[in-house]
Amino acid sequence: MLVTNTIDTTVLPPAERFGMWLDLVARTSVPLRMESPYADDFAARAEFIDLGAIQLVKYQYPSLDATRKLIRQSDPELYILAFTTSGVGTSSQDGRRSDILAGEFTFYDASRPHDVCHHASEPGRTQATSITTLIPHSALPLPPKRMAALYGGRMSGSEGLGALLAQFLIQVTGHPEQYQTADAGRLGAVGLDLATTLLGRNLVAEDDVPTEVRRRALVTQVHAYVHRHLGDATLGPQIVADAHHISLRTLHRLFEAENSTVATYIRDLRLARCRRDLTDPTLRTQPVQVIAARWGFGDKAHFSRVFKAAYGVSPQAFRDGEPGAARDVNRLASRVNSSSAD
């Protein structure tokens, strides 16, 4: 699984918890002056995941207000892209101030003065939660002088690329055990591409985003779309292209760089899902065709032909455990899963 580092202030007596938190923030991002009505008993938790190009931090803490005033030359040069998962807050930098709600992003430069606050909003709750992406200045392929236009602003995490980035952050930080240590670098690249494209679009300067970054971000969007609509038997290249407002030719060129085709990607992913369900003991009583239809194979004969062509055995023979069948099917499933950030 991904390597994580968890800090929990409740391992200390209540009187020492806020001091621990102040030290943690200073060591992992930048020093901040913080205030909280819960400073006498600051029960908080932070989970860090290093993805190479970027670092993710999943926070849970009591309501707090933070100010960054004094800047030191030795402080790290970091951009902060913070996604609020619960609670409400404000973000302020360079004269711009925004109210941030759950499901929204804010962006600021941690190496410059700024103010942020984050408070629990539900009655009876004292905890607010967020997922923060720490991006070194040198890692973000956008013109530094133009980034000030986004400081202290808000961006949607419920539509378009914002929603895709939010889903990525929630998935990776919520289920790090589903990924291997070797996946960290690739996940970091995917996260950085999505963040870069989101910021570029909000700058109304997408042309400033490198072409390869835009291409990879679009491929990630297409992969996510296919995953969400895999059970739709009508899903095909034209529908995928129309959903992303690109031509069919452009979509095919995207997948040429992935050493695949759209139709092949959809088919292989469907087969992988069918393989998974055919080996699930809880689904043993479901007919093979019901499982096939769930993943977009509406015709029983066609599904059997495609499955046997791919693996050399029929779906029923695989379910019944014919020798060698599971090995071949698992090999394809592994290849399909490695091509997606799902």
Q: Which two tokens stand for residue 45?
A: 């938790």
Q: Which two tokens stand for residue 303?
A: 């599904």
Question: Distance between CA 227 and CA 298 in Å, rounded?
Answer: 17
Q: Return the domain boundaries, the chain.
A: 4-206, 210-342
Q: What share of the chain is helix, strand, coil (3-state, %, to 5)?
A: 50, 20, 30
Question: Distance between CA 315 and CA 46 in Å, rounded?
Answer: 45
User: What is the rounded average pLDDT of the residues 297-311?
Assistant: 91
pLDDT at 328: 52
pLDDT tens across 219-232, in order?
888 998 898 899 99
Homologous superfamily, domain 4-206: Jelly Rolls (2.60.120.10)
pLDDT tens across 77-124, in order?
899 999 999 999 999 999 899 999 999 999 999 888 999 999 998 766
What top-level class would CATH report for the domain 210-342?
Answer: mainly alpha
pTM, full prediction = 0.73
- Cα end-to-end distance, the chain, whole Å: 15
Q: Give bridge partners of residue 88 from the DSSP assignment.
A: 119
Cβ atoms within 10 Å of 57's Cβ, excluding its own: 21
